[in-house]
Amino acid sequence: MAEQNALAEHFERTIERDQRIEPRDWMPDAYRKTVLRQVAQHAHSEIIGMQPEGAWITRAPSLRRKAILLAKVQDEAGHGLYLYAAAETLGGDRMELTERLIAGAQKYSSIFNYPTLTFADVGVIGWLVDGAAICNQVPLCRSSYGPYARAMIRICKEESFHQRQGYELLMTMMRGTDAQREMVQDAVNRWWWPSLMMFGPPDAESTHTAQSMAWKIKRHTNDELRQRFVDMTVPQAEALGVTLPDPDLRWNPERGHYDFGEVDWDEFRRVISGDGPCNAERIAVRRAAHEEGAWVREAAAAHAAKRARRAKEAA
């Protein structure tokens, strides 16, 4: 009992001093579960997030655009892998996590359940979706769980490349024909509100925020991050020459922030609980990839076992 108290006190003090909790450290079960849930959802989002843009790789308009898009989508696969590895340090099993994802038992970001209708969507995803991801993820570089925080440092560097490639693509299209400019505006109209939903429900309705903030797993609330994203994005939209589809969007000099309209939270709840435009397709594609990859996993495991046996025989 005394030993247990000492461990709990050490945990609390580590958090208080802004130091990191490492895999070998004692941590409360609820902390482990909360970080694991967040890291797993984040990993799933990276992997599912490959689909909407991946769909455009074969239809990219030039070799240069194809190379950029390929690199970007591969980065997202890498992000998923770092994060599954971080989940494993908490006792999560990657196979089990994948199975929970394809069974619909674990969530991923609602944003990836919207379709990509034109190539402008690739640019808008880079600008808005990766932009929102950066707002969410930069503070996570200081998350109290060490492996998660370290994974985020590397991921954030790549996310800023993603955002810039998106913005550069949109800039190019905006300098093009009227049809291209219309395509960009249409994509902005469709992605703006779902991007604001990426920060999660309003603080008053967010079930996990308070405890995650106390444990410094999260460093800012959903509404704070959403506001930061809006403030950052409005001047970028002006520079680009597109209109954000919100008649209530205006600078509020008293608050020193942009005011903006109400997000359609019914839509958010529908999409996050499985009833968005592409949820079924995303899960079906992920399930097929998992099943078709079974032989690769089996072959790799058999090869590793053979090498281990040979090494043992040689020794």
Task: Return residues touching Fe ion (CB under 5 A).
Answer: 46, 76, 79, 130, 159, 162
- DSSP class of residue 302 equals H
Three-state secondary structure call for residue 243: coil
**Closer to Fe ion by Cβ: residue 50 or 188:** 50
The phi, psi pair for 227, rounded to 5°, reads -65, -40
132 closest CA partner among 159, 169, 161, 168: 159
Three-state secondary structure call for residue 23: coil
**Closer to Fe ion by Cβ: residue 162 or 228:** 162
- Least Å distance between CB 144 and Fe ion? 21
> Which residue is associated with the tokens 């993820």?
137
Instruction: Report residue 208 as tokens.
Output: 């996990």
Q: How far apart are CA 164 and CA 40, in angstroms?
A: 27
**Closer to Fe ion by Cβ: residue 161 or 193:** 161
Torsion sign over Cα 272, 273, 277, 280: positive
- Least Å distance between CB 74 and Fe ion? 11
**Closer to Fe ion by Cβ: residue 198 or 278:** 198
- Least Å distance between CB 85 and Fe ion? 15
- Least Å distance between CB 110 and Fe ion? 16
- Least Å distance between CB 132 and Fe ion? 10
- DSSP class of residue 277 equals S
Q: How far apart are CA 304 and CA 287, in angstroms?
A: 25
**Closer to Fe ion by Cβ: residue 130 or 246:** 130
